[in-house]
């Protein structure tokens, strides 16, 4: 994990920060992505399952990509595509979760209410997060530490 000057974490430091998913624009009307070089990325519509890891819920994503020849002809190819993918002649792709609309809405609400979320994290989120992680749950059905503690596995 690497932190860049903009404070964001990235897991693939070989890709230029100007070419992360946040810089690809989603066109909801056409169900396509527009890359920073203004080229259209399309999808086949196939849903792939991600995060099949214990303690994490699996979710589905669509993969959007250029045709390899279009991507390889781009002047930003070496900045945008990882060395491993370039060696295999692959194009850049972006994955969009079926929950991305909700995630984006939540991020915008969080940005608007930073102080409230900051207080909430200090007061209650840490104990509940620890309890859930130790028990292997994504959520609890009860409220209050006492009730949640009594309802263990």
pLDDT value of position 79: 87
Domain residue ranges in the chain: 2-98, 113-150
Asked if residues 6 and 17 have their Cβ atoms less than 8 Å apart, the reply is yes
Q: Could you give the CA distance from residue 31 to residue 98 in angstroms, rounded to a whole number? A: 12
Express the helix, strand and coil content of the chain in percent, nearest 5 each.
40, 20, 40
pLDDT at 125: 66
Low-confidence stretches of the chain (pLDDT < 50) are 1
What is the structure's pLDDT at 54? Answer: 64
């Amino acid at each position: 994990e690497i932190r860049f000057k903009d404070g964001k974490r990235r897991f693939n430091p070989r890709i230029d920060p100007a070419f992360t998913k946040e810089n690809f624009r989603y066109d909801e009307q056409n169900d396509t992505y527009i890359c920073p070089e203004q080229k259209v990325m399309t999808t086949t519509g196939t849903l792939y399952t991600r995060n099949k890891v214990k303690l994490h819920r699996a979710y589905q994503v669509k993969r959007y990509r250029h045709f390899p020849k279009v991507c390889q002809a781009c002047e930003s190819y070496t900045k945008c595509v990882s060395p491993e993918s370039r060696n295999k002649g692959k194009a850049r792709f972006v994955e969009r979760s079926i929950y991305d609309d909700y995630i984006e809405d939540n991020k915008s609400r969080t940005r608007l209410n930073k102080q409230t979320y900051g207080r909430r994290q200090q007061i209650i989120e840490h104990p509940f997060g620890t309890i859930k992680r130790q028990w292997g749950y994504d959520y609890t059905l009860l409220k209050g530490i006492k009730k949640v503690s009594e309802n263990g596995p």
